[in-house]
Amino acid sequence: MPSFNSFMPTPKTLMGPGPSDVSERVLAALSRPTIGHLDPEFVGLMDEIKQLLRYAFRTENQITFPISAPGSAGMEACVVNLIEPGDKVVVCINGVFGGRMKDNVERAGGIPIIVDDEWGRPVSIEKVEEALARVPDAVALGFVHAETSTGVRSDAEALCGLAKAQGCLTIVDAVTSLGGIPLKLDEWGVDAVYSGSQKCLSAPPGLSPVSFSNRALEKVRSRKSIVQSWFLDLTLMLGYWDGAGERSYHHTAPINAMYGLHESLVMLSDEGLEAAWSRHREMHLLLEQGLARLGINYLVPAEHRLPQLNSVLIPAHLQNQEAEIRQRLLSEHKLEIGAGLGTLAGKIWRIGLMGHGASRKNIELCLGAMEEVIQGT
């Protein structure tokens, strides 16, 4: 049997599509003593996390909490609780994660009605309006607010307005938007939303904040079939997360990860939500100016770009070396940026400016490292 040593990762600057840099303050929170998942102190922490998430989501929804799993499980939780076999769902696809929503709808027995748009462009309001008119019995509209695979923002307010006028629910992917750009659940009429801890909240990966409106809860309570997933069944999870007085056992929560999420949400509250949105926008503009000096342009039109996820076109003469450039950035400068996915593989880089990582220091490192590596290629 060989001997093993404790794992000590090399510190790196994370400027890819996630996870994002985690602050020393959050890392310190993770190291605090583990207590029981039904301990009264931990139950108090759970209540604070719910309150802080309501602030971050801009909602009064009582059913707002983090699922003990990554954002993909948040997506699945929203779908399997709201969609029953035979339900028609208009699903918007303008990148990888819209496609995953379609897969989840199919696995839940739903019938997806697809609205396709070009990758790097927002969901078409006109196409969605036509689809909802063509399928008046659709029970939900699903779309990605901030498409991580392309760096494009869709108009969530307008899309939710169309769904509400049609009388159907909305399921919104906010994995990359929460904490980075305006997201206003109550004002826009979002019914079910899921996010991730590792993007603009800058907590470790592994938790998925979700929120459900009263309309969504009515749909859950009126189901004719049992939710296909035991773990993600909202009625079972609420006994743990929303029980009055004594909480019922559902699962053993990742205690220390919850400490980290709580600390990151306290930091967001201290900064102020609007200030965080403004900081992401300001840092994006600085990065954009620097990339322009390097001759690097954006995939997404300016009015639809995500400040926290910058998808940039790889110059044609560098496309054959794109993987080598990313590898050199990582090995020589300890800097991680992301590759393109799907049809954009080899054509774009994805540069994250998320949460704690949306800083002048990171931008200066990124621009300097990219200039050095590209000139040496």
In a domain, 148, yes or no: yes
Instruction: Choose among 202, 200, 261, 198: nearest CA to 30.
Output: 261
Averaged pLDDT score across all residues of the chain:
97
pLDDT more than 70, % of the chain: 99
H/E element holding 265? helix 255-271
Number of domains present in the structure of the chain = 2
Does 209 share its domain with 337? no
Q: What tens digit of pLDDT does each residue of 132-161 get?
A: 999 999 999 999 999 999 999 999 999 999
Does 229 share its domain with 354? no
Please report the sign of the dihedral spanned by the C-alpha atoms of residue 8, residue 24, residue 254, residue 204.
negative
Note the pLDDT of residue 284.
Answer: 98
Does 240 share its domain with 95? yes
Does 57 share its domain with 149? yes
Q: How far apart are CA 197 and CA 355, in angstroms?
A: 10
Does 128 share its domain with 191? yes
Q: How far apart are CA 145 and CA 300, in angstroms?
A: 14
In a domain, 4, yes or no: no
Q: What is the DSSP letter of 194?
A: E
Q: What is the DSSP letter of 298?
A: B
Question: Where residue 354 sits, what CATH number does that domain have?
Answer: 3.90.1150.10
Question: Where residue 126 sits, what CATH number does that domain have?
Answer: 3.40.640.10
Note the pLDDT of residue 248.
Answer: 87
Q: Where are the beta strands (DSSP E) in the chain?
A: 13-14, 63-67, 88-93, 111-116, 140-144, 146-147, 152-153, 169-173, 192-194, 208-212, 309-313, 335-336, 338-339, 348-352
Mean pLDDT of 346-359: 98
Cα-trace Rg, the chain: 21
Note the pLDDT of residue 247.
Answer: 83
In a domain, 243, yes or no: yes
Tell me, what amino acid is at 371? Answer: E
In a domain, 2, yes or no: no
Does 112 share its domain with 241? yes
Q: What tens digit of pLDDT does each residue of 76-123 get?
A: 999 999 999 999 999 999 999 999 999 999 999 999 999 999 999 999
In a domain, 103, yes or no: yes
Mean pLDDT of 332-343: 97
Mean pLDDT of 227-256: 90
**Residue range(s) defining the domain that contains residue 198:** 25-268
Note the pLDDT of residue 244.
Answer: 61
> Strands 348-352, 309-313: parallel, antiparallel or unpaired by DSSP?
antiparallel
Q: Which two tokens stand for residue 110?
A: 């739903």
Residue where one domain finishes, among candidates 239, 268, 297 = 268
Does 212 share its domain with 336? no
In a domain, 3, yes or no: no
Mean pLDDT of 269-282: 98
pLDDT tier at 245 (50, 70, 90 boundaries)? Answer: low
Q: What tens digit of pLDDT does each residue of 276-330 get?
A: 999 999 999 999 999 999 999 999 999 999 999 999 999 999 999 999 999 999 9
3-state helix, strand, coil in the chain (%, to 5): 45, 15, 40
Instruction: Choose among 335, 288, 326: nearest CA to 307.
Output: 288
Tell me, what amino acid is at 267? Answer: M
Report field, pTM of the whole predicted structure over 0.85: yes
Does 86 share its domain with 224? yes
In a domain, 7, yes or no: no
Interior angle at CA 38, CA 32 and CA 42, nearest 5: 40
Q: What tens digit of pLDDT does each residue of 28-76 get?
A: 999 999 999 999 999 999 999 999 999 999 999 999 999 999 999 999 9
Mean pLDDT of 334-342: 97
pLDDT tier at 1 (50, 70, 90 boundaries)? Answer: confident
Does 108 share its domain with 230? yes
Note the pLDDT of residue 317.
Answer: 93
Q: What is the DSSP string of 54-121?
A: HHHHT---SEEEEESS-HHHHHHHHHHHH--TT-EEEEEESSHHHHHHHHHHHHTT-EEEEEE--TTS
